[in-house]
Structure 1
Amino acid sequence: MSITVVLYSHDSVGLGHARRNRALAHALAADLPRLTGQPVRGLLIAGHPDATADSLPEGWDWLVLPGFTRTAEGYASRSLDVSNERLSALRRSTAAAAIKAMSPDLFIADRHPFGVGEELLDSLVWLRSQGTRCVLGLREVLDSPEATRAEWARIGGAAAAAKFYHAVWVYGDPSVYNPISSGEIPQPLATRTRFTGYLSHGRPVDEVSGSSVRAPKPYVLSMVGGGSDGGRLALAAAQARVPAGHRHIILTGPQMPLPDHARVQRTVEASPDAARIQVTRLAPHVPALVREAAAVVSMAGYNSTAEIMATTTPALLVPRAARRAEQPRRARALAAVGAVDTLALEELSAEALSRWLAEAVVRRCDRGAVDLDGLSRIGALAAAELALRPAALPRTTAVRPTPGVLRAAPRPAEAPVPVPAPYPPAHVAHAAARCAATPLSAPAAETRFDSHVR
């Protein structure tokens, strides 16, 4: 007997959804066998081929659907010369075939409960008939409350999702940002929501290889996630002065448009610091690069931020302001608890980055007040869901919890969820964190310093 898990992410822009699921896969593979006494296998359904560059645990694999991408008019086929209708039908049928073939005990969807164009709906109906436990995984910030309400309404409201999803896992710390009290997660999903903590500590890290990015320490790091909309930040980083005695690594991301990447390279070649700047699209071991950097400049996507939060490296978040309010809201919330510094995109300049880098390389940042241990809780949350599966349904991969380890009980998610203090209203000026300047050689360099509100 074994436990089968299927995780889904739509991946139209960036790799954050797939990388969250990949982190979950490693956590489940590490913990579920110990908790249930059964081996675990799984499939990750993703929508971008770059996702497969990341390794998976033994017994797990990727299924990459033909991709959608975002355009000014909405979703469109990334590569295939087909209509949206044909691409949607292809994705829907492919996902359904894979899900039925795997017959999972646990299904986890990232962010979008019904997928792109409701491509998961048929599969969710089938999964419900099989008694599969279904979980909706959400990052801690979705969007502005107004935009999120409209998004829920487009899929029939939160009640429509609640028909299929037994639990909602929010990958964040409610004392930093609470999407229930902000209105981003409405009833009835709010009553079955559990906060895991940020998925920071324990993230999978690929081994350093001969092709891995290296730079003599000390160095500073600039990164823009997948890079599809990171051209402006990468260009400013290329124009910034490198702190004395340091090198500068700039990661432009695998999805940065070629003209933007080429412009960054040309700018570096013309820089007086060119000999100390290294530009590359991709690094397979970003968490290690962040941890060993003297300072990091980054956009404020969930995964980049989660990797930063697992370290003591001072960080400046420059959130994108287009499409969603997610990144600015995340940056404000983390700055308010002293975990990062922030710079609004409209204030971005090479001079601003130069000043921040010169000041940041002489300090470290203690983020111990934030719950960063979400990955250590995923196994127990999954085991609890598996223990609640209907025992009467015949399934070839049925989970039978080890006696004394897991006991079916009244579903805890039905209990009211305590709601922490609400997130400050949008009109409140954002906070600028200060992890104070302290010599790196002193033990106090790891101390957190007070934030202030401007």
Structure 2
Amino acid sequence: MKLKSVPAVPATGAEKTAEAPRLLIYSHDTFGLGHFRRCLKIAQAFASTYPQSSILIVTGQPQAERYRLPEGTDFIKLPAVVKVGENRYQPRSLGSSFEKIFELRQNLIVEAVRTFQPHIFLVDHAPLGMKGEIRNTLEELKNRSDAPALVLGLRDILDEPEKVCKTWTTEGVYPILDEVYDRIFIYGTPEFFDPVSAYRFGQAAKDKTSFTGFIADSARLSTSANVANGETRKILLTIGGGEDGAEIVAAYIEMLLAYGERLAVETTAVLGPFMPENKRKAFTVQAQDLSLCFEEFVPELPSRLAEADLVISMGGYNTTVEILGAARKALIIPRIYPRREQLLRARRLFEMGLVSYISPEELTPDRLYQTVVSNLANPKSPLAEAREKNLLPLDGASKLAELCRLLFAQKGVLK
């Protein structure tokens, strides 16, 4: 399927602006770290493309202050909520009802948009926000003559197609895609996965949709296919924010206890800032005699991925794309509840010969050991080879920034 591309307005050296471009990014951030990290990469690309720009991220990410912000970027922290089930949320920290927190978040978002007056309002992932919290904002903006360009950014895979279509029909998302958003950008390629077809976009939505490629940290892309020196191999185990994934760490510890003498490996496990303290302490006790060390949080993950002979991770978009951009070999153990998005992504990458994967339902210490040994014995580095061939485009952030050039120009910002 051929989709419309946004014609680029040629750059002429230093940007001449009537006023500095303003971008507001909304990121609901109710689980993990990935959404906010992706927004930071987008902000960095905009800051590089439009050096005088001001970028405001409105986020529910509790760990936002631990990240280095790009030049000209700041954030507003929404009261945090956490997903506890299928479309169910609760306050992460505040002793208040979800309804009151929801109302507070709604009001903060509306006021941020009214006061900051962005030229582009970029909504990450959720067309209506967490449980529809930006619906009122979108409707207000659509009726204003001075409204910003309304842009929706979607990752490659959301969930199983039938489930997404049912949810979007029930929640009234399709009219929003057709009638409210000015542009839709998909952070992937149709060859890898085509959500336009899978999620049954209407014709109006199709006409305003473009694929950007994957949102990776282009400044840190690694093409090295060399393995670490010496006989001891390095394994990096990461489970994202740590709200789930403890069963992966547990299985890995059991594997080392059973087979550690056969494996000449040193392992670093990044447990994430959201892992419950009791689980963190239990893992520390279990691993005290193993060649395994724990870290809570690594803000610059790509450089650590590049140092490892094998990366073991879950299958979220952000970590997976960072693996595609920096790692040599990877084993993905995807989350399968409440969404199967990670499983679909892992299977697709496996079909392409880029990664190994184990479904959580099949995860045992024995299976893990066999897969780790197989990966370490393989002399090839499939991910490094894929980067050399440019098999999957990883410049989505810079391409997204360029695709927004015309939108800025239409708002009278770029001349």
Aligned to 2:228: none
Counterpart of 2:197 (choices 181, 191, 216) is 181
Given that residues 105 and 386 in structure 1 are in contact (C-alpha distance below 8 angstroms), is that contact kept between their aligned partners in structure 2? yes
SS at match of 1:310: helix
Does residue 22 of the first structure (1) align with residue 40 of the second (2)?
Answer: yes
Aligned to 1:336: 351
Given that residues 308 and 328 in structure 2 are in contact (C-alpha distance below 8 angstroms), is that contact kept between their aligned partners in structure 1? yes
Residue pairs, 1:212-231, within 5 angstroms: 218-231=233-246
Deviates further, 149-158 or 138-147: 149-158
Match for 1:373: what amino acid?
D
Deviations 1:191-241 (A, max 9, x none): 321111111241679xxxxxxxxxx98411111111111111111122233
Match for 1:9: what amino acid?
S
Residue pairs, 1:341-420, within 5 angstroms: 341-362=356-377, 363=379, 364-365=381-382, 366-367=385-386, 368-389=390-411, 398-399=412-413, 401-402=414-415
- Using the alignment, how far apart are the partners of 1:237 and 1:173 within structure 2? 33
Does residue 70 of the first structure (1) align with residue 83 of the second (2)?
Answer: yes
Aligned to 2:72: 59
Deviates further, 232-241 or 42-51: 232-241
Instruction: Give 1:358 deviation, angstroms.
Output: 2.5
Instruction: Give 1:26 deviation, angstroms.
Output: 0.3
Aligned to 1:278: 293
Following TM superposition, where does structure 1 have runs of at least 4 consecutive aligned residues deviating by more than 6 angstroms? none
Given that residues 110 and 137 in structure 1 are in contact (C-alpha distance below 8 angstroms), is that contact kept between their aligned partners in structure 2? yes
Aligned length: 374
Residue pairs, 1:272-311, within 5 angstroms: 274=290, 276-311=291-326
- Using the alignment, how far apart are the partners of 2:54 and 2:122 within structure 1? 14
TM-score by length of 1: 0.78
Change (3 A) 1:249 1:376: same
TM-score by length of 2: 0.85
Residue pairs, 1:119-268, within 5 angstroms: 119-128=133-142, 129=144, 130-183=146-199, 185-202=201-218, 218-241=233-256, 244-268=263-287
SS at match of 1:113: coil
- Using the alignment, how far apart are the partners of 1:233 and 1:203 within structure 2? 30
Match for 2:25: what amino acid?
L
SS at match of 2:372: helix
Given that residues 21 and 408 in structure 2 are in contact (C-alpha distance below 8 angstroms), is that contact kept between their aligned partners in structure 1? no
Given that residues 231 and 261 in structure 1 are in contact (C-alpha distance below 8 angstroms), is that contact kept between their aligned partners in structure 2? no
Does residue 90 of the first structure (1) align with residue 99 of the second (2)?
Answer: no
Given that residues 313 and 332 in structure 2 are in contact (C-alpha distance below 8 angstroms), is that contact kept between their aligned partners in structure 1? yes
Given that residues 40 and 70 in structure 2 are in contact (C-alpha distance below 8 angstroms), is that contact kept between their aligned partners in structure 1? no
Instruction: Give 1:107 deviation, angstroms.
Output: 0.8
Given that residues 185 and 400 in structure 2 are in contact (C-alpha distance below 8 angstroms), is that contact kept between their aligned partners in structure 1? no
Match for 2:41: what amino acid?
A
Instruction: Give 1:376 deviation, angstroms.
Output: 2.7
Change (3 A) 1:217 1:93: farther
Given that residues 4 and 42 in structure 1 are in contact (C-alpha distance below 8 angstroms), is that contact kept between their aligned partners in structure 2? yes
Given that residues 46 and 398 in structure 2 are in contact (C-alpha distance below 8 angstroms), is that contact kept between their aligned partners in structure 1? no
- Using the alignment, how far apart are the partners of 1:260 and 1:187 within structure 2? 49
Deviates further, 353-362 or 192-201: 353-362
Deviates further, 159-168 or 11-20: 159-168
Given that residues 32 and 380 in structure 1 are in contact (C-alpha distance below 8 angstroms), is that contact kept between their aligned partners in structure 2? no
Given that residues 330 and 356 in structure 2 are in contact (C-alpha distance below 8 angstroms), is that contact kept between their aligned partners in structure 1? yes
- Using the alignment, how far apart are the partners of 1:268 and 1:187 within structure 2? 55
Match for 2:406: what amino acid?
A
Given that residues 305 and 323 in structure 2 are in contact (C-alpha distance below 8 angstroms), is that contact kept between their aligned partners in structure 1? yes
Given that residues 33 and 241 in structure 2 are in contact (C-alpha distance below 8 angstroms), is that contact kept between their aligned partners in structure 1? yes
Aligned to 2:226: none
Given that residues 23 and 204 in structure 1 are in contact (C-alpha distance below 8 angstroms), is that contact kept between their aligned partners in structure 2? no
Instruction: Give 1:23 deviation, angstroms.
Output: 0.8
- Using the alignment, how far apart are the partners of 1:137 and 1:2 within structure 2? 22
Match for 1:122: what amino acid?
N
- Using the alignment, how far apart are the partners of 1:327 and 1:255 within structure 2? 19
Given that residues 143 and 184 in structure 1 are in contact (C-alpha distance below 8 angstroms), is that contact kept between their aligned partners in structure 2? no
Given that residues 155 and 188 in structure 2 are in contact (C-alpha distance below 8 angstroms), is that contact kept between their aligned partners in structure 1? yes
Structure 2 gap ranges (5+) = 1-18, 222-230
Aligned to 1:31: 49
Change (3 A) 1:346 1:184: farther
| Structure with a larger share of its residues in helix | 2
- Using the alignment, how far apart are the partners of 1:353 and 1:255 within structure 2? 24
Instruction: Give 1:185 deviation, angstroms.
Output: 4.4
SS at match of 2:54: strand
Deviations 1:166-187 (A, max 9, x none): 1111111211111122226454
Instruction: Give 1:40 deviation, angstroms.
Output: 0.4
Given that residues 44 and 71 in structure 2 are in contact (C-alpha distance below 8 angstroms), is that contact kept between their aligned partners in structure 1? no
Given that residues 161 and 198 in structure 2 are in contact (C-alpha distance below 8 angstroms), is that contact kept between their aligned partners in structure 1? yes
Given that residues 239 and 267 in structure 1 are in contact (C-alpha distance below 8 angstroms), is that contact kept between their aligned partners in structure 2? no
Instruction: Give 1:72 deviation, angstroms.
Output: 4.2
Match for 2:236: what amino acid?
L
SS at match of 2:75: strand
- Using the alignment, how far apart are the partners of 1:131 and 1:380 within structure 2? 21
Given that residues 237 and 250 in structure 1 are in contact (C-alpha distance below 8 angstroms), is that contact kept between their aligned partners in structure 2? no
Given that residues 155 and 186 in structure 2 are in contact (C-alpha distance below 8 angstroms), is that contact kept between their aligned partners in structure 1? yes
SS at match of 1:361: helix
Instruction: Give 1:157 deviation, angstroms.
Output: 3.3
